[in-house]
Chains A and B, each alone.
Chain A
């Protein structure tokens, strides 16, 4: 087997793993959404909302997104460096270890093993496995970059390097803990410091996993699928350095109006607003790339995924910083608006870009065209409508919820009880399930289409 064939198999393996964990994570999400309306669905401890919620977030962040990142990164890395993977055997081991780790992670969360730190719930034995996996990935990325035949680095490679470095730093520092048993550890930090480090990690997990590598894919696969060069490479490089410069300071915007020192909150707020500029530099770069070729939105099935994806990124990066403004944070934080915001990023931006990139890579490594453009179009419209129904409903729900919590009578007493605000959410939660079902239907179509595209050529019909 040649190096090329070996890395094709690795790309295909990670792509199919990504789809598998996407389906699992979404099914768990649907069950969670149903539990909001029918609490009786908390049938057993391992099906309780508190346990399932972390299986959902970890399964989709680490299972689906990371596997998609690995698949597309290995593909882009070889193409942009014009060099085979430095250690294909290591990448193959990483593929197997990754799937075992995600399965063990899900089981441990079902069992209730959790650090209770959001997005960092895995207990210390699994943290060690995650670090080992990341070192394996980093060795291949850096090793291939060192051996590269293409001297100048395209912007996607810069974003990939940023992903490798920042995930390592924030994951290790936030997960420093003192183990007391196999299933329990306590954070190395205490009180406000713990919260500050946790959200420094939490927000930079968003940067490192949901932004840098996804932008790398956007900058690579939009030009490759349209044949149009990106509008401005230097603008993309400035956007890269600005994001790297600004992102690491913004974590405390998750802790507005808390005991965290006010100056830290203000620094986070200032840098959050600053980030609008580099984020929109990428949005504008994408739009200008299409200048004069907007008909491709109809004629090229992948273009609309990338353009809608970057549009949701743009909306997300306006919404996020404005939520950091104290007055708005005071109204919206802890309400349904926040999951509405997060899901536009994950269901709109991240999933649109990853699924489109996987259509491209899987077709290439399988040496054929995508199985069905028609199915890809159905997939697109189902996830677009499902996502909009889901997120817009939750934004409205959050605004209503925040207003109910703050409404007071003329004598200063609260106008609504907390239970009133819960009951008021039922219609919105019902609409959310329909949005989720549409989205899941779209992803099921994608899974079938990608599987058919990835089959070995000899089995093709």
Chain B
């Protein structure tokens, strides 16, 4: 196998490994609550932005 072919193989395996790592990270049981939390928080009433008058953006 040529160094070039080896490099391609290494790069492919690296990408597949990173991808598998991302899946393992997000589907880990111990992170379930934390990973799912944003879907509930985004539904909360939108707070008035820090330097706005507060007369807008509710709901």
Q: Which residues of A contact B (CB under 8 A)?
A: 2-5, 8, 78-80, 82-84, 149-150, 152-155, 220, 223-224, 227, 229-230, 232-234, 237-238, 241-242, 245, 364-365, 367
CB nearest to A154 among chain B residues: B38
Main secondary structure of the interface of A (DSSP, over half): helix
> Distance (Å) between the CB of B20 and the closest chain A CB?
11
Q: In the complex where A152-B37, A234-B35, A241-B22 touch, is A2 in contact with B43 (Cβ < 8 A)?
A: no
CB pair B52–A241 under 8 Å, yes or no, is no
CB pair A232–B36 under 8 Å, yes or no, is yes
CB nearest to A242 among chain B residues: B19
Q: In the complex where A154-B39, A223-B43 touch, is A234 in contact with B27 (Cβ < 8 A)?
A: yes
Question: Which of B36, B38, B40, B48 has the largest count of A CB atoms less than 10 A from its CB?
Answer: B38
Q: Which residues of B contact A (CB under 8 A)?
A: 15, 19, 22-23, 26-27, 32, 34-43, 46-53, 56-57, 59
Complex CA–CA separation, A8 to B41 (angstroms): 22
CB pair A80–B48 under 8 Å, yes or no, is no
CB pair A233–B35 under 8 Å, yes or no, is yes
Complex CA–CA separation, A224 to B46 (angstroms): 11
CB nearest to B41 among chain A residues: A150
CB nearest to A246 among chain B residues: B19
Q: In the complex where A4-B56, A234-B26, A238-B22 touch, is A83 in contact with B49 (Cβ < 8 A)?
A: yes
Q: In the complex where A237-B26, A237-B35, A245-B15 touch, is A2 in contact with B53 (Cβ < 8 A)?
A: yes
Contacts of A83 in B (CB 8 A): 49-50
CB pair A78–B49 under 8 Å, yes or no, is yes
Complex CA–CA separation, A2 to B52 (angstroms): 5
Contacts of A150 in B (CB 8 A): 38, 41
